[in-house]
Amino acid sequence: MLLEVIATLAAGLFAGAAIYIDLAEQPARNKIDIAAALREWRPSYKRAAVVQPILAAVGFLSAIAAWLMGGSIWWLVGGVLLVAVIPYTLIIVFPTNDKLLDPGIEEKNPDLARRLLIRWGRL
pTM for the full predicted model: 0.90
Domain boundaries, the chain: 2-122
pLDDT tens digits along 71-115: 999 999 999 999 999 999 999 999 999 999 999 999 999 999 999
pLDDT over 90, % of the chain:
100
**What is the per-residue pLDDT for 117?**
98
Kindly list the distances between the CA atom of residue 99 and the CA atoms of 18, 109, 112, 113, in Å, as whole numbers in the listed order: 21, 11, 10, 8
**What is the per-residue pLDDT for 32?**
97
How many whole angstroms separate alpha carbon 79 and alpha carbon 68? 12
